[in-house]
Amino acid sequence: MSAARILTVASCSNVGADHRAHVVVSGSYGGRYNAFNAAKWPVRAVIMNDAGVGKNNAGIVGLELLDQIGLAGATADARTCHIGDGDHTLAHGVISYVNRAAAALGCAPGQSVRDCAERMRAAIVPTVAPPPITEGARFVMRDVPGEPMVVCADSIGMLRPEDADRIVVTASHGALSGGRPDNAVPLDIHAVFFSDAGVGMDGAGIARLGDLERKGIVACATSADSAPIGDSRALYHDGILSHVNGAASSRGGRVGAKLSDFIEELIATAKR
């Protein structure tokens, strides 16, 4: 326990060998993909953001995966800290959910993230690998000559330079990583969409929309209650727009519309 440290990351995608056997406080939402990224090293324990919980409990379902290998996990209430920012989560977050492994250490909803993380320093590092997952993939949803290609990506980390001129639905939250300006979205992308992750404290879950607006990029977020965060195809088929930036509004994007309908409008306009 004395050697176990509490480390912060903006995203579970940033967890690596240096985090092995330590407690990680991550800005990521608590889905299966992010839980897997933390567990595969393995860390001693991990705290993530509940992303407003949302449809199918997508913001916290990763806690169940962690329990399968006895890895202590918890989520912070998105209303108490900034999603996408591990430092802010450690400093301000309040625990909303814990798994069985964390509860056995005395972790509980209502604790500060720091208190919970301190208790997790006593956790036993799992000796088994996490079960495989199917989340974390890219899908081409529409590829018609003369139209912008439509791509679904379960994580914003899966965007590529060749996504320029494409419409991309990413199932990540719309926060800025660590509060820093966006550097993940290609400047000449046709449009990009996110989950609003329950919006959360200070509107952190949709902060990226304003940053992309200043770059003239069409960007919107869908309600986390309408489609599960982490499942880009579900956002594409079922997502309801909850927030649109100015560039999107000028092209017909409106709160309450189906994401798929707005994408059809964008394609129709591009073909004219």
Q: pLDDT digit string (tens) for 41-89?
A: 999 999 999 999 999 999 999 999 999 999 999 999 999 999 999 999 9
pLDDT at 1 over 80: no
Residue with tokens 């913001």: 59
The pLDDT score that the predictor gives to residue 75 is 98
**Residue 148, Cα to own-chain centre: how many angstroms?**
25
AA letter at 226 = S
Taken as a whole, the chain contains a residue count of: 272
Q: What is the mean pLDDT of residues 131-139?
A: 90
pLDDT at 266 over 70: yes
Q: pLDDT digit string (tens) for 174-217?
A: 999 888 888 889 999 999 999 999 999 999 999 999 999 999 99
Residue with tokens 């400047």: 187
Q: Compute the half-sphere exposure of residue 224: CA atoms within 13 Å on the CB side of its CA.
A: 24
Measured over all CA atoms, what is the biggest interatomic distance in the chain, rounded to whole angstroms?
65
Residue with tokens 């820093």: 180
Average pLDDT, the chain: 96
Q: What is the mean pLDDT of residues 117-123?
A: 97
Residue 45 CB partners (closer than 8 Å, separation 6+): 23, 24, 71, 72, 73, 74, 101, 102, 105, 117, 120, 121, 123
* pTM confidence score: 0.95
Q: Are the C-beta atoms of residues 169 and 150 closer than 8 Å to each other?
A: yes
CA pair distance 40, 242, nearest whole angstrom: 34
The pLDDT score that the predictor gives to residue 128 is 92
Q: What percent of the chain has pLDDT over 70?
A: 99
Q: Are the C-beta atoms of residues 220 and 236 closer than 8 Å to each other?
A: no
